[in-house]
Amino acid sequence: MHDPSLSTAQHRELIEALALSHVLPHDTLPIEECLGRRLAVDIHSLIPLPPFTNSAMDGFAVRREDLEGEGPWTLPVAGDIPAGDTRENRLEKGQAWRIMTGAPIPQGADTVVKVEHTDHAAGVAQAPDSVEIRVAPKLGANVRVAGEALEAGSPVLKAGRILDGTALSAAASVGHGTLMVLPRPRVIVVSTGTELKRAGEALERGQIPDSNGILLRGLVEDAGGQVVAHLRTGDTPAELRTALDEAPEADLVLTAGGISAGAFEVVRLTLGTDAGFHHVAQQPGGPQGVGSTQVGAGGRETPVICLPGNPVSVFTTFHMYVAGALAVMSGLVAPEHGGTVPSGVLARAHVGWESPSGKTQFIPLRFVSGKGDEAGARWVEPAHPLGSKSHLVASLANAEAIGVVAPDVEQVEAGQELAVVPLVG
């Protein structure tokens, strides 16, 4: 068992050690399956771009030296070169080839005359026997030289990039058919409590919607994980143990509720020999748990992080601890680079509020529109007038940052500078 009272830094060390011991290998996937994934390594061009010298226009490939003197010029046409042509075509002196956009330039040609500058209309199916060229372009006109856009070996995408359609198109265009991407940790979300009902179900006296489960599912996906199961159990250890035994294989179990000092703390009762439970000097979300438990029919030992049951506690402690753990497990960041410490900025309080003595306060905040100081710092105020109280779930939709107030501060004054962690989205 861990010491029953920990600082936020000590608790983060436990989370960090758990994550570091369960770093997952990268995934190598077909490029068609990489949409929305995060690139694991820098990628470089495997081929020059364009990969071969080709025509930038529909027209006629010629030698520019054959268009000397006064025009127009009439040249015999050797044939057609459509896009995708794989032949080794050759242009003889005093000759032209009809060529389509993107088609390989025949050997010996150095210029393409646009079809609009000839006596032939675009779109005619059969190549003519000859072509009258009415305007002589500059040498090299309408020719895209192999490698002019990108040489083989050039950098294309940086590691960490979220792969959208444009990134995948760029990777495909330079020869990549598969990509190495960061893994998405598989997470089992567990909501506990006989009072919980599925979202939208009719409620009887004493029942509440399972907003924690919905919240955690969204937070996990936003942080790069994937929820492979969402378990809802009552307040008996047998129910929770059975649910975990029947759950699919996962990389992390994330529980909400059942770890405090009440009589029906099902997670503590069930996992007490596997996970260490302690109190963290923070508000909200003092009760916390870290360790491992057996999951699935094979009893696979799986990391577990246990959060309190109050929604604001779930929200703030996920952002302050769990999101960083998922980043470390996926290989996005390393703990030695501060991987589990959220990146913060300085802001100023637009209004004052109280903070609990001796505890780090994690308070959901929103930015004050149009207000900033001469140094560029933004101004913030609590997302809800009641501050960081654990049950204020409806206020979370307004939260744009989490304020971090030091344990020795009992009153945040209007205009006071404080650290805030901006939230993605």
Distance CA 255, CA 403 (A): 24
Q: CATH homologous superfamily of domain 5-25+184-337?
A: MoaB/Mog-like domain (3.40.980.10)
Q: Do strands 360-372 and 345-349 pair parallel, antiparallel, or not at all (unpaired)?
A: unpaired
Range(s) within the chain of domains with CATH label 3.90.105.10: 27-49+149-181
Question: Which two tokens mark 47?
Answer: 């081929």
Question: Which two tokens mark 352?
Answer: 């004052």
Beta pairing partners, 295: 300
Range(s) within the chain of domains with CATH label 2.170.190.11: 54-144
> Model's pTM, two decimal places?
0.82
Range(s) within the chain of domains with CATH label 2.40.340.10: 345-422
Report pLDDT for 265. 85
Range(s) within the chain of domains with CATH label 3.40.980.10: 5-25+184-337
Number of other residues whose CB lies within 10 A of the CB of residue 40: 21
Report pLDDT for 4. 57
Report pLDDT for 210. 81
Q: What is the CATH topology of the domain spanning 54-144?
A: Molybdopterin biosynthesis moeA protein; domain 3 (2.170.190)
DSSP state of 142: T
Give me the CATH code for the 345-422 domain, please. Answer: 2.40.340.10
Q: CATH homologous superfamily of domain 27-49+149-181?
A: Molybdopterin biosynthesis moea protein, domain 2 (3.90.105.10)
The list of the chain residues with pLDDT below 70 reads 1-4, 124, 262-263, 334-341, 370-376, 386-394, 424-425
Report pLDDT for 193. 78
Report pLDDT for 3. 44
Burial of 56 (0-12, 13-18, 19+ CB in 10 A): middle
Buried b (16+ CB within 10 A) or exposed e, 279-313: bbbbbbbbbbbbbbbbbeeeeeebbbbbbbbbbbb
